[in-house]
Amino acid sequence: MGKVVAGVAIVCAAAACAAAAVTVSYRMRVRSQRHHARSFLLEFQEACATPVARLRQVVDAMAVEMHAGLVSEGGSRLKMLPSYVDQLPEGDEKGLYYAVDLGGTNFRALRVQLGGKESRVIKQEYEEVAIPPELMIGTSEELFDFIAKELTSFVAREGDDFQPSAGQSRDIGFTFSFPVQQTALNSGTLLNWTKGFKVVDAIGQDVVAALQRCIQKRGPEMRITALVNDAVGALAGGRYWNEDVMIAVILGTGTNAAYVERAQAISKCGSTFPKSGEMVINMEWGNFWSSHLPRTPVDETLDNETMNPGEQGFEKMISGMYLGDVVRRVLLKMAQEAALFGPNVPRKMLEAFSLGTPDISKIHADESSDLKVVGNVLRDVYGIQNTSLAVRKIVYEVCDTVAERGARLAAAGIVGILKKIGRDGTHSKDVGSPVHPESGKTVVAMDGGLYERYSKFRAYMQAAAAELLGDASKDVVIELSKDGSGIGAALLAASIAKNRRK
């Protein structure tokens, strides 16, 4: 009997030892995997670093590329497209104007009744619809007919409180947020698509003629009088309210900037200068490239797997369409190589764009001590249950790294433009375009969902701009101009009509 008891005790002890060994080895494996994930994170953070010295190189490169793009067609990856807008709205525009806005996942139609200097925007209304994904890769006819159809039904619902002035037609400003080589204020050919659009037969077409044809077929008596990139629209929208606005930046699904340039500096346009002596330039800065950009292998794989590899390198590091996917790719690598989320890689994490920028914004805003929101997002998006705090911290830091890099690069881009126009504090007062005599300020109008809704991104961007500008930052105001790009095209259509009447 004694022997039996002793035998059982030995077996139990051995089992306990084995269980302990399994636990210890499991813990060691988890610890070593976590260590692996941490060192991967550190490596990624180093590759993404944007110390101020590096940002200054980006600032200089932006200013140099701007010059090059203005001198000759194809002189830089920055297209620096003349917009033919040589006069921005002044606030005294009157009448009823429409705008249609195509540029991201949604299409918008908008009408605005303008009352002149005193009453400004008397009333505005808009309607937004999601663009059916198949139209983003279909034919030009289908896409423009869809816009014409939505516009026609919106116009049909115009109420009595919207009134065109006597003898005035219903003019439309067309915001088209893709690279277009304009040939006039109201015509231009599409150079290439971005942001996941690929309507191949539209490339090289005059997009105004294409839309105007579809509108005519559907009946309403309307004409497109202004073709406007959203960055140009944001500049017009900002200037309508504030005459110190010189630059507009879009940080949304895509990214871009427009600014007021001295016509003489645009040497590729020859020597016919507009009366105002100025012209708005659509930079198409999403395609900016410099060897100083902190690009990582993750960015390279992302780029290779997009619809436009080799294009829009800056956009793919800073805009809303891509930030979430950069994070996803880093997390996927950590899941595959360091089992960050356990032995299995969450299937959905293999899907491109399954993590959106709104998700990383939510993660990044989590201030709770146990990073509860981070856990919730991982559960809701990828079905990952019961993450440890250590894992949630790693996920948080990946978001922080990607957003901080994007925001600081965007700030360097803005300071590059300020440098080009002599407003970064490093020039004597008589270089560049004149500063408004009373305020002495330069205002940068910001538009786009990324800037508007991602508060940590916004804060990082503002801080980096202040860091780069030093003392000069007191004369530079970077402010949200909500929906400037939407209404901007209508305001430009109004300003064109006003100048026609003069």
| Binding-site ranges for ligand BGC (CB under 6 A) | 103, 177-179, 194-195, 229-231, 250, 252, 254-256, 284, 286, 315
Nearer residue to ligand BGC within complex by CB, 70 or 394: 70
Task: Show the tokens assigned to 128.
Answer: 């937004």
- Residue 489 CA to residue 233 CA, distance in Å, equals 5
Residue with tokens 């060897």: 291
Phi, psi dihedrals of residue 120, rounded to the nearest 5°:
50, -120
Q: Is 431 left (phi over 0), alpha (psi -120 to 50) or beta?
A: beta
Query: CB of residue 312 vs ligand BGC: minimum separation in angstroms?
Result: 6
Nearer to ligand BGC, 44 or 451 (CB): 451
Would you say how long the chain is, in residues? 502
How far is C-alpha 240 from the geometric centre of its chain's CA atoms? 22
CB of 353 to ligand BGC, least distance (A): 15
**Residue 368 CB, nearest distance to ligand BGC (Å)?**
34
- Separation of CA 149 from chain center: 27
**Whose CA is closest to 327, among 378, 292, 288?**
378
Q: Which is nearer to ligand BGC, 179 or 422 (CB)?
A: 179
Q: How far is the CB of 477 from ligand BGC (least distance, A)?
A: 22
Q: Are 93 and 494 in contact (CB under 8 A)?
A: yes
Pick the closer one to ligand BGC by CB: 88 or 249. Answer: 249
* Nearer Cβ to ligand BGC (182/194): 194
Instruction: Compute the radius of gyration of the chain from its Cα atoms.
Output: 27
- Closest by CA to 424, choosing from 410, 437, 435, 409, is 435
**How many distinct helices (H) and strands (E) make up the chain?**
15, 13
Rounded Cα distance between 194 and 178, Å, is: 7
CB 457 within 8 A of CB 450: yes
Task: In angstroms, give the least distance from the CB of 106 to ligand BGC.
Answer: 12
Q: State the nearest-atom distance from the C-beta of 486 to ligand BGC, in Å.
A: 12
Residue nearest ligand BGC by beta-carbon distance:
254
Distance CA 490, CA 100 (A): 8
Least distance between ligand BGC and beta carbon 350 (Å): 26
Q: Which residue do the tokens 């914004």 mark?
A: 361
CB of 103 to ligand BGC, least distance (A): 5
